[in-house]
Structures are given as structure tokens and as C-alpha cells.
Structure 1
Amino acid sequence: MAKLAGAARVKTFPAAGKQRSFRRNVTGWLFASPWILGLLCFYAIPMLTSIYFSFTTYSILQPGEFVGLNNYRELFHDPLFWKSIYNTIYFTVFFVPLSIFIGVALAMMLNMKVKGLAVFRTIFFLPTLVPQVALAVLWMWLLHPNFGLVNGMLASIGIDGPPWLSGEAWSKPSLILMSLWGIGQAVVIYLAGLGDIPEDYYEAAEIDGASWFQKTKAVTLPLLTPVIFYNLVMGMIGAFQQFTLPYTLTKGQGTPANSMTFYVMYLYENGFRYFKMGYASAMAWILFIIVMALTAVVFMTSKRWVHYQGK
């Protein structure tokens, strides 16, 4: 009888374990359900819907008709579409490398053992707390061609300042300058990466007689490449989505001569000013393909230049 009772108890253990596992799974799914519902309602369903809209003439006010690839064909014959792509690529090509170079340089300076280091770090981080609209208004006054502070300082040393935002040749460089002023968040990430590099490497390099430049080249930069890789990807994605600064500076007009019409600005104008939502959806998916392709290229090449500790 004792053996039979023991056997019965053994048989009930797997069933009880499955029941507890099922309860844990249900509890976990219940806790995750708000996030899952949000993901479906605000990401998955809108994305799938926008694919369909990109093949229609949907305009918010009217359901539209299915037109196949007409929106995409029309985009490739739209000169302002190509102009917006050029402006966005121009900004990305110059801003992303400069932000990495200046961000790493600032992080290395802010990583030095000096008095008042926390104050300096706070000063360089403060611009990231300024809203984009306020930042645009501030720089509009600083770069005003007639009575702006920058041209005033240049005039004091005998240099005629450029027209900055009102000149086609200087509008995008001005925007790059404004954007570089707010790279404090990237600097903080670089500082975290520098703090993660073991001191043993620097001590070994110093014993071998390495100079500061040699230690930077052989130790700091290679071990900082994972952080540089992250900021490169995120910076590239953010640059292709540039919107608030140029839209505020030009009041949505992209002036002068559409030199400040960026891709997402033109997408917004088509979707919410002209109500060409199908056209805007097609633009959104072209942007998605471009960003995904560039990100894939960066990931594929990362094996050659990104170095992780212990590998």
C-alpha cells in the first residue's frame, strides 16, 4: 500500500508542475499585455495599414482608390522629392562623422582628472535639455545676418559674416552647427564607454613606453568602437529623420530655395498639409528601406572595425 501511495504521489508531480508553469505563463502574459496591445495598436497595425495606403490615393478626408505603384512612380518624377533626399543625405554625411569626432574628443577631455569636472560635464550636457523649438529660436537670433551675435563678433575682427540661414550655400552648414551644439547625450554615452575601459591596459601601455597618442590609438579608440558603433547607427537614423529644427527655422517652407526641405519635412507636408496620405505613406516606406539598407551595411562592416573586450 505504501508503494502504491508513493507511486500515486510521483504521478501527480508532473501535472502539478505543468499547472504552476501555466499559471506563471498566464501571469506573465497578463503583465505584458498592456505593452503588447500598445505595440499592436500604435506600431504594428499602423505600419501594415500604411503599406496598403501607399498603393492608394487615400487622403484622410476620402477613402481613396487603389492605384498600385502610381505613388512610387510619381515620387521618382518629383524634383522636390530628390531635393529633399539630397538635403537629408548632405546633412547625414557631414553631421554624423562630425558628431562622432567631436563627441569622442569632448568625452576624452571630460574624462581627465581635473577639479570641477562635474561642473564641466553638466555644462556640456545642458544644451540637450533645451527643447528643439527653443533651440531653433535661439540660433535664429545668434545667426541673424544683420544683428546676430556671431556676425557681430566676426565684424569686430574685420570679417564679414555669411548670410547663414538666409543663404542657400550656408543654410545646411548652419543646421549642422546647431545640431552639433546638442550632442551632450552622445558625450555621456562616450564617457560611460571610457569608464568601462580597464586601467590595466593603460598601465601596460605606459610600461611599454607608449605616448598619449599611442595609448589613444592602440587602447582607447579600439575599445571605444562598440560605443562609436552604437552612436553611428543611432545618429544616422536620427539624421534621416531630421524635422523639428528645419521646420521651425523655415516655418515649414524649406527656404531658401528649398535648401532646408528635408525628407521628413516633405513627407509631413504631403500627409498633413496637402492630405496626400497615400503619397506620404509611399515616402515613409522608401525612407524605411533606405535606413534599413544603410543600417545593414553598417552592421555587416562592423566586424572589421568594432572590437569588443575579451575578443
Structure 2
Amino acid sequence: MSGFTDAVLPARRRRGDRPARRPAGPMQRREARWGYAFISPWLIGFLLFWAVPIGASLVFSTLDFQLTDPGATTFAGTSNWERALSDPDTWTALAATFRFTVLFLPLSLVAALGLALLLNSKHLKFTGFFRLLFYAPSMIPLVAGVLIWQQVLNPQTGWVNRLIGLTGIDAVGTDGIRWFDNPVLVLFAFSFIGLWGIGNAMMVNLAGLQGIPTELYEAAEIDGAGWWRRLRSVTLPLLSPIIFYNLVIGSVAILQYFVVPWVLFGATGRPGGASRFLLVHFYQQAFVFGDMGYGAALAWLIFLLVAVFTAVLFGTSRHWVHYGTERS
């Protein structure tokens, strides 16, 4: 057999060298041209609306560039970056973002997974209706949803305070629970609004649950595993890639949290700076005050924070994320 192989294979192949690459024929060149033609709209859009603005923002971060007087632009070097790191408002925004991340991120992950587990149950009837019910809020425009929740959490007329008042707590009226006037309670108000729109994460978890082989649950039941043991030993390990995906997406979204606090409070930061998130601070400096150079430095600071946080998540994922194709 080895003699036949030596006789048939060229000498270069026998030495382990890679075979010479054949030149592309007319058909391959034509297919390549058509491929580039089909992806050219995306390439053009990427260059015009992503690559060029990203490069321009990096240049702007080194300039003293005011939108109200672009003719007076001067080179500022690293002064915008130094100002971003020494500005108390930046640290206030970072602290507000961190507090909300610690509160809402675990809450949203657990709630989305819990709803998916509930809707994946074989004992629950009308699951299609409930899936639509929980997913529908994520289809409502965010600004409209914020305005709805502003009335739902109203201290005088909101039904949340009225329901709390049924327990005997003085929650309604001028002395009741004022969700948007307390630095701590406003974070819970933001969380309520965020949990209202977890339909996407719930559906992703539900798809992952339905992809877990039922044979594994049957084998676990035969071994005497209860519901909690099956969840801990079967469901969570096999669903860990989905949980990791929701964790990354949720983390990036929270670090860019903007619409809800801006609609409710604008750039005021009330109450007590609790609504001055990083992106709100950036928008105020760049587009309200017109300091585009400083705003560009803040934008890059947010980008670096997102990149570092995402890198940490990916670096630690190998310790708890398990893929089906892995070998032990």
C-alpha cells in the first residue's frame, strides 16, 4: 500500500508540502465578481456609516471642536481625555451605570430564564397565548412604553401604588411612594420598565430549552433526580451558551442605557444624579452643550468600557459555558 501511495502521490505531496494552488478559472472569477457585487451595498454602508464616523470621532477627540463655532477648531491633544477622566460628572455617570447594572442585569437574566422555564412546561395550557403576551411589550416603541410606565408609577393615579395601598401601606397621594423622586426607587422604576421588555431574551431562552434533548431529562428522572437537580445538572449547563449570549447583550445594552432616563428626566440627572448614565452624559456634552471634541472622548471612553467588560466576560466564559461539541 505504501508503495502504491509513493508511486501515485507527487514528491511534493509525499514531503508534506501543500499542493500548488491552481489559478482561478473564468467561472470562478465571474462568481467572485458577482459575490463582491452583492456584498458591495453592505461594504459601502459599513464604510460610510460605521468606519468613517468611528475614525472621525477618534480625530474629534483630539480637537477643541464646538458645534456652535466650527471655524475656531484647534488641536487639543489629550486634554479631552484628561478632562473626561477628571470630570466629576463622568464619575457620577459611571457610578449610576454601575448601580443599575448590579441591580437590573441579574434580575433580567433570572426573569427571562424563569419565564422561559414556565412557558416550556408541559403542564401549562395556552402556552402560545402566554408567549405572545410576554413577548408583545418588546414590540411597543420604547418611548411610548416609557410614557405608559410614567403614568403606571404615578404616585396619585398609578395602579402600582394603588395595589401597594391595598396592603395597608400609605402609597397613594403626595406622601406616598414617589418612584421618580427617590435616587434608590428610581432604579427600581427603571428595572420595572426594563423587565416589561424582556420578551426577546425570554424567546431566546425558550428556543435553547427546546433544543435540549428530552432523553437527558428522562435519564435524570430514572436516576431519581428531582426538578431542582435536573435544572442544575442538565438545564443550566446545556443552556449556558444562551445565558452567556443574553449576558453579553444585556451588559452592552446597559452600558449604553439612554432612552428611558432621557425621556423621563432629560439631562437633569435627577433625582440626585441617579439618572445621569454614561450615554446621557455623553449626549448632553456633545449635542446639548455642543462640545463635540469632549463628547467624542466620552464616546470612546464608553466604547473602551464596553470592550473591556465584554473581553472579561469572554475570558471567564471558559470556566462556566459548556458547548455541546466540547470534549471533556
Q: 1:266 aligns with which of 258, 281, 289?
A: 281
2:102 and 2:162 mapped to 1: Cα distance? 30
**Which residue among 129, 135, 156 is the counterpart of 1:146?**
156
Equivalent in the alignment of 1:87: 96
- Within a 5 Å distance, the mapping from 1:149-160 to structure 2 comes to 149-160=159-170
Shift of 1:18: 2.1
Q: Which moved more, 1:75-84 or 1:189-198?
A: 75-84
Find the counterpart in structure 1 of residue 223 from structure 2.
208
TM-score (norm 1): 0.92
Shift of 1:52: 0.6
* Counterparts of residues 102-251 of structure 1 (less than 5 Å): 102-113=111-122, 114-161=124-171, 162-251=177-266
Write the distance in 2 (CA, Å) between the matches of 1:89 and 1:265.
14
Offset of residue 59 of structure 1:
2.1
Letter of the 1:87 counterpart:
A
In 2: Cα distance, 1:246 partner to 1:184 partner: 21
Instruction: Letter of the 2:219 partner, please give it.
Output: A
In 2, the alpha carbon distance for the partners of 1:107 and 1:194 equals: 8
- Counterpart of 2:26 (choices 19, 29, 53) is 19
Structure 2: where are the runs of 5+ without partners? 1-21, 172-176
Residues in 2 aligned to 1:88 and 1:270: alpha-carbon distance in whole angstroms = 17
Distance across 1 between alignment mates of 2:103 and 2:187: 10
1:65-108 Cα offsets, whole Å, 9 max, x none, are 11111111112221111111111111112211111111111100
Give the Cα separation in 2 of the matches to 1:50 and 1:125.
37
Aligned mates of 1:135, 1:252 — CA distance in 2: 20
In 2, the alpha carbon distance for the partners of 1:221 and 1:132 equals: 31
Structure 1, unpaired ranges of 5+: 1-13
Q: Using structure 2 for the length normalisation, give the TM-score.
A: 0.88
The one of 22, 37, 40 aligned to 1:33: 40
- Aligned position for 1:303: 318
Aligned-partner Cα distance in 1 for 2:265–2:302: 22
Structure 2: which amino acid aligns with 1:208?
Answer: D
> 1:25-67 CA distances to partner (integer Å, 9 max, x unpaired)?
1111111111000000000010011001001011234051111
Residue deviations 1:146-195 (CA, integer Å, cap 9, x gap): 23211122122211232111112211221112111210110000000001
Distance 1:87 1:127 in 2: 26
Structure with the higher helix share, 1 or 2 = 1
After superposing the two structures, state which structure 1 stretch, 88-97 or 183-192, moved more. Answer: 88-97
**Following TM superposition, by how much is the alpha carbon of 1:136 offset from its aligned partner in structure 2, in angstroms?**
0.9
Mapped to 2, the partners of 1:237 and 1:169 lie a distance apart of 23
What's the counterpart of residue 7 of structure 2? none
Rounded Cα–Cα distance in structure 2 between residues aligned with 1:280 and 1:18: 51
Q: Which residue of 2 aligns with 1:46?
A: 53
- For residue 5 of structure 1, what is the aligned residue in structure 2? none
Q: Secondary structure at the match of 1:93?
A: helix
Q: 1:289 aligns with which of 285, 304, 311?
A: 304
* Structure 2 residue corresponding to 1:78, chosen from 71, 75, 87: 87
- Deviation, 1:125, is 0.6
> Matched residues in 1 for 2:88 and 2:188: separation?
22
Instruction: Name the count of aligned residue pairs.
Output: 297
1:248-306 residue CA offsets vs partner (Å, 9 max, x unmatched): 11134222222211110111111111111110100011111111011011101101100
CA deviations on 1:221-251 (whole Å, 9 max, x unpaired) are: 1100000000000000000111111101113
